Amino acid sequence: MKKWKHVMKRMTAMCLSIVIAGSLLVVPGKMKQVEAANGTAAEVVNLAANQVGYHEKASNANLDSFTANSGSGNYTKYARDLGVANGQAWCATFVWWLMASAAVPSSAYPSRTTVTRDWFNQRGLYRARGTYTPKEGDYVIFGNVAHCGIVESVSNGYVHTIEGNSGDKVARHDYSLNNSYILGYGIIQYNNPSPAPTPTPSPAPGTDNPGNPYPIPTTVIRSGSRGDQVKWVQKFANDVMGAGIAVDGIAGSQTVYAIKVFQQNNGLAADAIAGTQTISKMLAVWREKVKPAPAPETPVDLGTNFSAVINRQDIAKPIYNAGTNVALGDGSEKAERKWLFIRQTDGSYMIYSLYNNSALDAQYKGTTNGTNVYSGGVNHGDNQKWYLYKSGNGYRIVPKHAAHLALDVLNYGTSKGTNIQLWEKNNSTAQTFSIVKENYNALQKITLSSNNGNGMEVGETQKLTYSLTPANTQSDMVKWVSSNEKVATVDQNGVVTAKEEGTAEISCISTFNTGIKGSMMVTVNKKVTTEEPTTEITTEVTTEEPTTEITTEVTTEVPTTEITTEITTETTTEITTETTTEVPVTEATTEVTTEKPATEITTEITTEKRATEVTTETTTEVPVTEATTEVTTEKPVTEITTEAPVEKPATTEMVMDTVTFPLEEGSQFEQDGILYEVTSDDEDALEVSVIAYNKSSKVLAIPEQVKHAEILYNVTEIGDYALEGDRNLIDVKIGNCVRVIGEAAFMNCKNLKTVSLGISLNTIEKKAFYNCKKLSKLNIYSSGIRKIGKKAFSKTSKKLTVKIPANKKRIYKKLLRKAGLR
């Protein structure tokens, strides 16, 4: 025993670090194992239970006492015993200490907290919360892989854990199995309670021994052994374990210690003697290390063009186009879950959504874990090209621009809406998809038609329609173009507008195959003005000196008793087209001499015109002194009233299709209580900003898109002071299209408790959430935030918890602190 302590002291002084089978192992200082430990889950849990109540120390003193020198300095006996740095967060150190004390192989658990999910994932041993019932001894991962512990037991829907560095001590906790604080579980492959050793034949010396010039040991290697077979062990320890010992053929203390460490980490009896089992295991590890690297993967060719549904294979649920984002569906989706695969010359595929003709896209060309995948505008970049690789009975989908990543379902989620992202390739169920082909009818022909022919006048519009051959083709997205926009333009609804004289070719082109199009030549002529017959009325008025007397003199060939001249003209006009009309009538000449103001002279002319109603009402007062009316007629009359109804010849009726145009920039409209302002009227990028909210609602969900007059606008901004002082709001969810939250947008929302920020957000202006005193939960799903303004989160709750992407923890923490987060 004294000799072993001497070896421990000497080895600790050397600060030897050994990497064994891919895991980091540190040389222990006062590390002790449980007597007769077998590396079982029960031993680990019992040992953890015996440590409950141990409190971290204020300094490097009284480390073995449970309570003496208690403080918050992060000093523990666990770090000391393992020989790792003291004075730092120690939840994982506690777990490592349990494993080492119970003789659990170091290959069975990860060496660093921040890589636990990846580590277990790569070995198929990770289980997300909600998909698995944990077991005794499982490694439990919390938050954003920032805390860990050991599962003690599970009962009545709760998991009971033991955690180090929980409130500065080792403590027990109980959580609902669905508690969102739990990220998932790692399954540790413990030894069986009583492992029975299986004899292995001794390997033949010097055979199957690539890269090691010394003979494979056929005799037991122990302290004091000498010879070339000892050199084999020493070279193995250096090349595989990084021991850094002299290859001198003498089994001294360093060689013996390396043997013991290897045994501990590979489930063997740790007696520091290399017998048949130890040598056989070393040889297996050596062969694994030196075996040739696997041949590069070859992308799978599933065909040139085809339509398919992409299902997560293990649960048969599709990924679908959820507007601008891509998420896991539940099978109820229709066109949203259909994708068109177009094979490229490099063997990759462009994958188009048959829902809106967007392309599967790695957002911002991201190359890190957690990069969002969405359905974006087609640009044919490498971040929109995908290779398919065989993975088990399914396929792994890999972006061309980042071959180390693969399409991944966030946290192994199974519910509708779970985000689709990129994550390091691991062949897990979250990255294995089935591609279910559907009947694909390739587009062959586009035919254009018009109800008005191809001749147009300047200023006219007409809508062209198109048909596809075959009619059930799945390439149902087209774009419209004009060869000469000075002569005629065309919008993306096929509406042609004539601009000036000339000819222009209007084409409807397939967005999937630009070589297929339908075209029509349009000839634009000058506008023609047509003159129609009109009633000619001549009125002659002579005005002299005003008088109050009105004299009417009528000369006629037939007897009359009284002649009253009343001229009333009433014209009603609704003008759709500009028309000048001449109507032949009997010519009437009226001569009026006036010396004094008349009471009133009203002229009423009513004109009826097919498809055109003209109404004009005119009231005229004329000063006259004497009115003389001379009327010639062939029939006797007693009263003459001049009313001239005129019926015009029938004209061609023109019926125009209604065309809805986007609102101009700066226009405003309201939808569901939210007041929007148009910030971009570009037809390819229609965008609006939220500028006010007029409902007394506790929950507000800012949508990704809003429809007005059948036109969709992306909601990309929350305007300055948009919801400032709203005391009704408690929960706000901001859509995935919003890029900017304006200055003081939610300032003084004093009852606001929860805010969720979408994946496209890049800017939070100053005082955006200033004085939101009850804000206690902030969920940030965007990985692209570049700016958070001053005091954006000042005077929020001291209990505010923030959920952020794991790969942005350091950057966002700095930004949030500068923005006033306490």
Cβ(145)–Cβ(158) below 8 Å: no
Note the helical H segments in 713-762.
Answer: none
Closest CA to 105 of 51, 40, 46: 40
Q: Which residues pair with 771 in a beta bridge?
A: none
pLDDT of 605 over the 70 cut: no
The SS3 call for residue 368 is coil
Residue 554, Ramachandran bin (φ over 0: left; ψ between -120 and 50: alpha; else beta):
beta
The residue type found at 170 is V
The model's pTM: 0.31
Q: What backbone phi and psi angles, to 5 degrees, belong to 811?
A: -65, -45
Closest CA to 390 of 371, 366, 406: 406
Contact yes or no for 783/804 (Cβ under 8 A): no
Q: What is the 3-state secondary structure (H, E, C) of 485-510?
A: CCCEEECCCCEEEECCCEEEEEEEEE
Question: E-assigned strands of 329-412?
Answer: 338-343, 349-353, 359-362, 373-376, 385-391, 394-399, 405-409
| Average pLDDT of the residues in 793-821 | 91
The 10 Å CB-count burial string (b at 16+, else e) for 130-146 is ebeebebbbbbbbebbe
Check whether 600 has a pLDDT greater than 70. Answer: no
CB 155: neighbour CB atoms within 10 A? 8
CA torsion sign, 173 to 177 to 183 to 188? positive
Report the distance separating Cα 9 and Cα 1, nearest Å: 12
Question: Could you give the percent of the chain with pLDDT greater than 70?
Answer: 74
Exposure on the CB side of residue 381, measured as CA atoms within 13 A:
14
**Segment 422-471, tens digit of pLDDT:** 998 888 899 999 999 887 666 788 999 988 888 899 999 999 998 888 87
pLDDT at 615: 40
Angle at 105 between CA 99 and CA 108, to 5 degrees: 85
CA atoms of 759 and 239, how far apart (whole Å) = 45
φ/ψ of 279, rounded to 5, equals -65, -40
Report the C-alpha gap between 76 and 66 in whole angstroms: 10
Query: Is pLDDT of 90 > 70?
Result: yes
Contact predicate 490/509, CB 8 Å = no
DSSP H helices, 102-164, are 116-122
Higher per-residue pLDDT: 579 or 254: 254
pLDDT digits (tens, 9 = 90+) for 121-155: 888 898 999 899 999 999 999 887 778 999 998 88
Q: At 32, is the pLDDT very low, low, confident or very high (cuts 50, 70, 90)?
A: low
The four Cα atoms 561, 566, 567, 570 give a dihedral, to 10 degrees, of -130
Residue 570 amino acid letter: E
Q: How do 685-693 and 711-718 pair as beta strands?
A: parallel
DSSP 8-class letter at 115: G
Is the pLDDT at 787 greater than 90? The verdict is yes
- Distant-in-sequence, close-in-space partners of 52: CB < 8 Å, separation ≥ 6: 162, 170, 171, 172
Q: Which residue has the higher pLDDT, 312 or 203?
A: 312
Rg (CA), the chain: 43
Is pLDDT above 70 for 221?
Answer: yes
Question: What distance in Å separates the CA atoms of residue 640 and residue 651, rounded to the nearest whole number?
Answer: 33
In the DSSP assignment, the letter for residue 576 is S
CA distance 211 to 243: 17
**CA 159 and chain centroid, separation:** 33
Q: Kindly indicate the confidence band of residue 198, based on its pLDDT and cuts at 50, 70 and 90.
A: very low
Q: Which two tokens stand for residue 420?
A: 């689709």
Q: Which domains does the chain have, with CATH numbers?
A: 24-186 (3.90.1720), 197-292 (1.10.101.10), 305-438 (2.80.10.50), 453-525 (2.60.40.1080), 533-650 (no CATH), 668-818 (3.80.10.10)
Q: State how beta strands 640-642 and 565-567 pair.
A: parallel
Cα 240 from Cα 25, distance rounded (Å)? 12
Q: How far apart are CA 572 and CA 607, in angstroms?
A: 8
First CA to last CA across the chain, in angstroms? 53
CA 55 to chain centre: 44
779 DSSP β-pair partners:
756, 803
pLDDT at residue 63 is higher than 50: yes
CA distances from residue 7 to 4, 27, 101 in whole angstroms, order as listed: 5, 11, 18
| pLDDT value, residue 476 | 52
Give CA separation, 754 vs 675, 746, 776, 778, in Å: 22, 12, 6, 6
Q: How do residues 301-317 score in pLDDT, each as one tens digit?
A: 999 888 899 999 999 99
Q: Give the per-residue pLDDT at 293.
A: 60
C-beta neighbour count of 168 within 10 angstroms? 17
- How many Cα neighbours within 13 Å face the side chain of 45? 17
Local confidence band at 478 (pLDDT 50, 70, 90 cut-offs): confident
Instruction: Give strand pairing partners of 421.
Output: 372, 408
Across the chain, what does the average pLDDT equal? 79
| CB 159 within 8 Å of CB 140 | yes
Instruction: Please give the residue that has the higher pLDDT: either 29 or 72.
Output: 72
At 760, the amino acid letter reads S
DSSP state of 336: G
Amino acid at position 93, single letter: T
Pick from 404, 329, 330: nearest CA to 371: 404
C-alpha to C-alpha distance for 414 and 409, rounded to whole angstroms: 8
pLDDT surpasses 50 at 806: yes
Q: What is the mean pLDDT of residues 49-77?
A: 92
CA nearest to 172, candidates 159, 157, 185:
159
Residue 768 has pLDDT above 90, yes or no: yes
